[in-house]
Amino acid sequence: ELNLPTNSSLSISLPGLGTKTSIEKNQHTEDIITLNKQLLSKESPFAKRLSLFLNYFRASPTQFFTITTENSVPTAAGLASSASGYAALVLALNDCFEWNLPNQKLSLLARLGSGSASRSLYKGFAIWHKGTANNGLDSYAEPIKTSWAEFCVGLVEVDISEKKMGSTQGMQNTVETCELYSAWPQKAEQDLLKIKQAIEQKNFKLLGKTAENNALSMHATMIATWPPILYWQAESVTAMQQVWQLRDKGIEIYFTMDAGPNLKLLFLASDIIEIKKTFGEILIIQPFNV
């Protein structure tokens, strides 16, 4: 499974949030997987998915690994835990096997586990190129070399419990049953060009409104899927309305969302004080100011 996307995409990595993973070969008859200091059953969905991915790297069917993972991002809650998770795992494999591969090559491997993981090897903004080759060798991520000290991301946690439907299955259902989806790849590519331009020019308004509209459009396709997929909760909608109210007051703030109920707010450092008045529990990260 090459895990090739229908469109290119862009993300930003958040310092201080992510995954730390170590891996070593073992002499057991199965993979030993520990997540946040808890030994997982080999039948757990997380362990099964991880072991399936590791099949790519076993020297023989009897080769097994011991994996220790600590995740500071809630698992499967729409906060990109799989992105950081598979990026960290590939980095650990690079150390374990002493490949000494550059990030571009590691990005290809991370993509096999989670498409978004291909971007998570880099600091700051990164773009995942869709590519055109059938073998997927030109579908990798690379960084956008722009530093933006004032740029802020605020995490609004609505619900960090595990989602009933994962992102991969949700996307598959959307592709198969949503009539609106046919327009999505072209829109996503157009939005990507706008956001890339906005980053290079530090045009925050263009970046923010494009990112927010893109997120709403993505969720619209999921809502129009059959059976419908609605990750939002009542608190998600309330937070969206609060963002819009702040914008009506002249504060440049926008939101984006992954496949989950939690919001990521985008704003500049000059507005932190005002935004905290509305979102008192917000976790604010300045990705370029660390």
Sign of CA dihedral 237, 82, 217, 209: positive
Q: How far is CA 194 from CA 122, 190, 209, 210, 223, in A?
A: 21, 7, 10, 7, 25
Does residue 189 lie within any of the structural domains?
yes
Claim to verify: residue 40 and residue 163 sit in the same structural domain: no
Domain boundary (92, 124, 143) is at 143
The answer to whether residue 157 scores a pLDDT higher than 70 is yes
Claim to verify: residue 135 and residue 157 sit in the same structural domain: no
The answer to whether residue 76 scores a pLDDT higher than 60 is no
CB neighbour class for 100 (10 Å; exposed up to 12, middle 13-18, buried from 19):
exposed
Which CATH number does the domain housing residue 96 bear? 3.30.230.10
The answer to whether residue 77 scores a pLDDT higher than 50 is no
Claim to verify: residue 245 and residue 135 sit in the same structural domain: no
Residues 215-231: what's their mean pLDDT?
97
Claim to verify: residue 122 and residue 168 sit in the same structural domain: no
The answer to whether residue 145 scores a pLDDT higher than 60 is yes
Domain tally for the chain? 2
Does residue 67 lie within any of the structural domains?
yes
- The per-residue pLDDT for 80 is 59
pLDDT digits (tens, 9 = 90+) for 240-280: 999 999 999 999 999 999 988 999 999 999 999 999 999 99
23's enclosing H/E stretch is strand 19-26
Backbone angles phi, psi at 22, to 5 degrees: -125, 150
- 126 bridge partner residues: 11, 143
Whole-angstrom Cα distance, residue 286 to residue 156? 15
Claim to verify: residue 91 and residue 51 sit in the same structural domain: yes
Claim to verify: residue 183 and residue 214 sit in the same structural domain: yes
Domain boundary (91, 121, 143) is at 143
* pTM exceeding the 0.85 threshold for the entire prediction: yes
Are 196 and 10 in contact by the 8 Å Cβ rule? The answer is yes
Claim to verify: residue 127 and residue 37 sit in the same structural domain: yes
Claim to verify: residue 133 and residue 114 sit in the same structural domain: yes
Beta strands 32-35; 64-71: pairing state: parallel
Percent of the chain with pLDDT over 90: 88
Domain boundary (99, 119, 143) is at 143
Greater pLDDT, 126 or 160: 126
Claim to verify: residue 185 and residue 79 sit in the same structural domain: no
The answer to whether residue 78 scores a pLDDT higher than 60 is no
Which among 231, 261, 268, 230 has a CA at the least distance from the CA of 246?
268
Q: Which domain holds residue 201?
A: 151-285
Residues 111-134: what's their mean pLDDT?
97
